[in-house]
Structure formats: structure tokens, C-alpha cells
Amino acid sequence: MSMNYKRGVKLEYRVKKFYEDLGYFVVRSAGSHSIADLVVIGYGKVYLVQCKAMPVNKIKRSEVLELIKTCDKYGAIPILVYKKNHENEIVGGEENLLKLVEQK
């Protein structure tokens, strides 16, 4: 198991706990390499969450666009969690994600 994979899994579990502590139901898509690492459900909304243990400039634009496309198809809200200055940054919503990938 590579160090990058371990960092990614650790980040997924931290984000999962974050949402569970807020009262959401969270399902982790373990090792699936799918569009979403987490499916977060609660308070009348569904979020598809992609976790990246890397800075935003290393994230493939195509992966973010695929997340947005999938959320549009199923009526979910896209969320991207990534590393920024050794902290986790959470960006949600199609408009905000599009702005993020345009900055690259």
C-alpha cells in the first residue's frame, strides 16, 4: 500500500467522522476508485464527496468535472476536500468547484 493511498484513506475517515459528528449518514466507497469517496445524506440533501490528500493544483480538472457531471445527473451536491497549507479545505457546490478548477 503506497503512502499516498494511506494518506487518502486517512483523509476519507476524517471527513467521514466530520459529517457523522454533524448528524449526517455517511457511506464510504472503499477502494472503489469511483467518482465519490463518500456519500453523505441528511437534512434533505445528498452530497457526493471526493477527498484528495494533495493540493488543488495537483488535482485533475477532469476528475472535478466528472464529479460535477455525476452530481447533476443524480441531483446531488458535489464536494471536494483537498489539502491547503497542511489543512483540509472543503469546497462545495458546482459554481465553487468550477471556479476552483478554472484557477488552475
Query: Are 48 and 20 a contacting pair, CB within 8 Å?
Result: no
Domain range for 39 is 3-102
In the predicted structure, residue 68 carries a pLDDT above the cut 70: yes
How confident is the model over 55-81, as a mean pLDDT? 95
Angle between helices 94-102 and 61-74 (to 10 degrees): 170
- Give the pTM: 0.91
**26 near 18, Cβ under 8 Å?**
no
> At 71, which CATH number?
3.40.1350.10
Residue 1 has pLDDT above 80, yes or no: no
Please give the tally of structural domains in the chain. 1
Is 96's pLDDT higher than 70? Answer: yes
